[in-house]
Amino acid sequence: MAAYDGVFDTLGLRDWCDEGKEDAPVSMAQLLAQTGGDDASEAGGLPFPSLDVLHEACGRIGQTRDLTAGLEEGFLAIRSELKFVLDPITQPLSWMLDAALWLFESAPWFIMIPALLLLTYWVSRSKSVTGFVAAVLLFFGFIDHFGVAMQTLAIVFVCTGLSVVLGVPIGIGMSKSDTAQRTIVPILDLLQTLPTFVYLIPLIFLFSVTESKLYGIAIILYAVVPVIRLTDLGIRLVDRDVIEAANAFGLTAWQKLSRVELPLALPNIMAGVNQTIMMSLAMVVIASLVSAPGLGVLVLRGIRNLELGVGLVAGLGIVLLAVILDRVSKAALARVDTGRKER
């Protein structure tokens, strides 16, 4: 006798339950009971009324496998329509990633290294940071990891740039509307807490693993959250007295945003960009599971083939990339802070 037979009998649902009962495959609860004996359910007293347990008493209630199968069938049912809509929208992402990878891979080292150092100095205005970046790039060259490091850097540049382009306007919109904030924050919470591997599951069904946008979308979804949150926070933290003064001078909404709120919120926005860069780099490694090139491929090779040296050197390369990106972005933030205070 099932544990909850009496409940359905008392409610007068026995005929309804028996009418829909089928010889479905055994549930997990039944399997555990068979392998552990009849005392398995009695050991813990009354079992929790899970779907599998209730299914034993009432066949009209589906099992847990019905829930998971329903989700899969529902997604596959709309897969063609989703792909039809998303393919043209996301195709530019593939073009940008492919172009960036081609540029970073085909440019000779004696052009790429000076170009990156000039960009570093222009952003940071720091000789020490630029010197450190130079040392790291030369180290990559000496250990024959310069090419894969440039692949990882190209992906990070594209995905971080798009994350900022998408995230800052969303953050601005959130800061201007409490309703928008209440709507978007749960989505951001979901994106920030969802396990990184889960991002890849629906994308694998929608796009081919040969398409760059497969891993590009996953990286952007994972990395865009900090810049949205900190843009919203930075604008909301702008002193109300400053806003009132701007209103008193008759500034329009656009003038107030561009001349007052964004400049004052820029340190927070830059901090969000820094976190977005770090999260992009972290996701690039995981995205190598779905054909993302770069240092992550070597990490996976070290795990798959038990090549300790290959995995450790690639891991060290990822750490060094993270350090230089962090140092450059923090130097840029300090520069922005100093310039704002001087005004």
**Phi, psi at 78, each rounded to 5°:** -105, 10
Tokens of 133: 């970046």
Report the distance separating Cα 219 and Cα 3, nearest Å. 47
**32 pLDDT more than 60:** no
Query: 100, 154 in Cβ contact below 8 A?
Result: yes
Tokens of 260: 């007052």
At residue 318 the predicted structure's pLDDT band, cuts being 50, 70 and 90, is very high
Query: 139, 320 in Cβ contact below 8 A?
Result: yes
pLDDT at position 34 is 55
Q: What is the pLDDT of residues 243-296, one digit of tens each?
A: 888 888 888 889 899 889 998 898 899 889 999 999 999 898 888 888 889 999
**From residue 193, how far is each of 43, 64, 199, 289 by CA, in Å?**
35, 24, 11, 20
Every domain of the chain and the residues it spans: 5-76, 80-342
Instruction: Give me Rg for the CA atoms of the chain.
Output: 27
Environment class of residue 140 by beta-carbon count within 10 Å: exposed (0-12), middle (13-18) or buried (19+)?
buried
What is the chain's mean pLDDT, rounded?
87
Say which CATH superfamily domain 80-342 falls into: MetI-like (1.10.3720.10)
Measured N-to-C along each axis, helices 308-342 and 146-176 cross at an angle, to the nearest 10 degrees, of: 40
Q: What is the average pLDDT across 221-225?
A: 94
pLDDT at position 253 is 87
Nearest C-alpha neighbor of 215 from the set 297, 94, 326, 114? 94
pLDDT at position 25 is 55
Report the distance separating Cα 217 and Cα 96, nearest Å. 12
pLDDT at position 1 is 61
pLDDT at position 183 is 94
**From residue 274, how far is each of 94, 108, 252, 267, 283 by CA, in Å?**
24, 28, 31, 11, 15
Report the distance separating Cα 142 and Cα 110, nearest Å. 14
Collapse the DSSP code of 19 into the 3-class scheme (helix H, G, I; strand E, B; otherwise coil) and give the result.
Answer: helix
Q: What is the average pLDDT across 162-180?
A: 94
Tokens of 215: 């891993």
Q: What is the pLDDT of residues 69-118, one digit of tens each?
A: 888 899 889 989 989 999 999 999 999 999 999 999 999 999 999 999 99
Query: 267, 333 in Cβ contact below 8 A?
Result: yes
Residues 6 or more apart in contact with residue 306 via CB below 8 angstroms: none
Q: What is the average pLDDT across 28-34?
A: 55
Q: What is the pTM of this model?
A: 0.84
